[in-house]
Chains A and B, each alone.
Chain A
Amino acid sequence: MTITMRAGGEIDELLRKVEALSSQNLAGCYQCGTCAASCPLRGSMDLPPDALILHLRFGLPGVLDRQTFWVCVGCDSCVEHCPRAIDVSKIMAALRQISIQESGDHLALAQLPETALRRLPAIALVASMRRHTG
């Protein structure tokens, strides 16, 4: 497997956007993995949060194709535990926002059966729409 890393010192555009939207400095992460260890949903992610941060920092391709930031619901368990005080929930929110801006909404409410729409609590529907649509 070949991994291409940025070596010229230029600032990766995606990293720059994520840092601006999240107000977080990703270079502060020292890859201890506490965020992944404390995440109740890591089993459903295709890349743990610490690895996603590393991919962003190295400018690795395919970050926006990952599911990790869609799986994150912002429960803030990682935020509470991060020894570097990095707000990982905000990084995930920034990635969702960039993905929605580039590729459109991630949830098709119209495809949900009407019975589900009637049954689900309003807070579930509104939260889901807010996190998945622009």
Chain B
Amino acid sequence: MGSSMQIAYYPGCTIKASAHQHEGAALAVLRTLGVELREMAEWNCCGVVHSLTSDNLIRHMAPVRVFARLREQGENEVATLCDMCFNTLARANLHARQQPEQIAAISVTSGDELSYDGGAGVLHLLQVLRDRVGLAAIRAHVRRPLRGLRVYPYYGCKLLRPAEVGIDDPETPAVLRDLMQALGATVVEGSLQTQCCGAYHVVDHAEIVAGRVAATADQASAGGAEAIVLSCPLCHYNFDTLQATSGAPLPVFYYTQLMGIAFGLEPDQLGLEEQQIALLPLLQRHNLVHVKGEQA
């Protein structure tokens, strides 16, 4: 099937390493939907976090450079899968639009190679799915509805805040809920869905992250959820490796993996065995995958 939609694609560093199963699943799902993500010819790390202080201009250089390269290849819009890349790029873009004199100041330090006016757009993949592809088209591709599977969508912080770059209502987001329902899953919700998991404290204060992850997973379990579904590679790492709950740990899916299962794609395209907490037993229990060699 030919692609009816093509969008420039910024992967970022983690998507190419510890979250590559998310990329594999996303590309497979998008092929099914007729969307082609075309990786940028040249890209660099976005810097991961937006620089918040007024005199630290040099830290805007990395994300602005991504937009400058995008423009050089004649594109005006770029999509990304990573929540942290999305947030950093979107905020740098806003900054470039609102304070062009600051971008000009850092551009001068690099021989004007960063010339950029903030005019391009950045999209999170969830926006592409919701706003460009549409839930009706996604629903039409479901071959194996996730009937009976109870999932807890976890948004974290970078998809939603600050509101000027967030992709959904920061208080009561719906995008993951609507997507999961379109796939036939049952959604369990709770107050901790939009609270930060502790993020990079996993590096040297993992106990902070473990506390947040346990509270959230406990809330999901108490609501009857069997799995957590999320988007951010850092949240994914934290929930997958630091989930020490009172009960059995909940498997952690990228939404792209659940889309792939519902679309009837081959499980080996979806990186289902690359998690610490096994995904397959839950999927087998719901008759959603069959391990090769096993009687269907």
Contacting residues of chain B (1-55) with chain A, CB-CB under 8 angstroms: 12-14, 17-19, 45, 47-55
* Cβ-neighbour of B199 out of A21, A75, A77 (below 8 A): A75
Mask of A4-39 contacts with B, CB within 8 angstroms, 1/0: 000000000000000011110000000000000000
Query: Would you call B53 and A107 a contact (CB within 8 A)?
Result: no
Residues 226-273 (chain B) with a chain A CB within 8 angstroms: 233-234, 237
A77 touches B196 (CB 8 A): yes
Known A-B contacts A43-B211, A122-B18; A127 and B199 likewise in contact (beta carbons under 8 Å): yes
Contact A122 B13 (CB under 8 A): yes
Tell whether, in the assembled complex, residue B49 and residue A121 are in contact, meaning their CB atoms are under 8 Å apart. Answer: no
For B186-218 the 0/1 string (1 means CB < 8 A from A) is 000000101110111111110010011000000
A45 to B152, CA, bound (A): 28
Q: Is B95 an interface residue (CB 8 A)?
A: no
Task: Known A73-B200, A121-B18, A123-B234; judge A20-B49 contact (CB<8 A).
Answer: no
A33 to chain B, nearest CB (A): 17
**Interface of A (DSSP majority class):** helix
The minimal Cβ–Cβ distance linking B59 to chain A, given in whole angstroms, is: 7
Interface class of chain B by DSSP: loop
Q: Is there an interface contact between B161 and A76, defined as CB atoms closer than 8 Å?
A: yes
CB neighbours (8 Å) of B51 from chain A are: 93, 130
Q: Which of B19, B170, B203 contacts A80 (CB 8 A)?
A: B170
Query: Contact check: which of A80, A90, A125, A126 meets B161 at CB < 8 Å?
Result: A80
Q: Which residues of B contact A53 (CB under 8 A)?
A: none
The residue in chain A whose Cβ has the minimal distance to the Cβ of B84 is A123
A73 in complex: contacting residue of B194, B196, B204, CB < 8 Å: B196
Q: Are A123 and B54 in contact (CB under 8 A)?
A: no
B53 adjacent to A97 (CB under 8 Å): yes
* B208 adjacent to A127 (CB under 8 Å): no
On whether the beta carbons of A121 and B233 are closer than 8 Å, the reply is yes
Check A80 against B162 for contact (C-beta < 8 Å): yes
Contact among B49, B55, B208, B233 for A41, CB-based, below 8 A = B208
Residue A60 CB within 8 A of the other chain: no
**Contact status A124-B157, CB under 8 Å:** no
- Contact assessment for B203 and A74 in the assembled complex, using a CB-CB cutoff below 8 Å: no
Closest 4 pairs (CB-CB, A-B)? A75-B196, A93-B52, A75-B157, A76-B161
Structural contact, B212 and A126, CB atoms closer than 8 A: no
Interface residue A94 (Cβ < 8 Å from any Cβ of B):
yes
Contact residues on B (Cβ < 8 Å of other chain), bracket: 35 or more
CB <8 Å contact, B203 and A125: yes
Interface size on A, residues (CB 8 A): 36
In the assembled complex, A79 has its CB within 8 A of some CB on chain B: yes
A130: which of B19, B47, B208 is its contact (CB, 8 Å)?
Answer: B47
Contact, CB under 8 Å: B53 / A123: no
Interface string of A103-134 (1 = CB under 8 A from B): 00001000010001000111111111011000
Which one of B59, B157, B203, B234 lies within 8 Å of A107 (CB-CB)? Answer: B203
Whether the Cβ atoms of B200 and A128 lie closer than 8 Å is yes
B52-89 contacts to A, CB under 8 A, are: 52-56, 59, 82, 84
Residue of B53, B157, B204, B234 touching A121 (CB-CB under 8 A): B234
Give residues 116-156 of B contacting A (CB, 8 Å): 156
Q: Which chain A residues lie closer than 8 Å to B201 at the CB level?
A: 71, 73, 128
Q: Name the distance in Å between A99's Cβ and chain B's nearest Cβ.
A: 12
* B202/A124 in contact, CB under 8 A: yes
A89 at the interface (CB under 8 A from B): yes
Q: What's the nearest-Cβ distance from chain B to residue A36, in Å? A: 14
A97 pairs with B161, CB closer than 8 A: no
Q: Nearest-CB distance from A47 to chain B (Å)? A: 16
Interface: A83 (CB within 8 A)? no
- Chain A residues with Cβ below 8 Å from B192 are 40
A120 to B237, CA, bound (A): 8
Q: Choose one: A20, A43, A116, A123; the contact of B48 (CB below 8 Å).
A: A123
**Distance between Cα atoms of A52 and B185 in the complex (Å):** 44
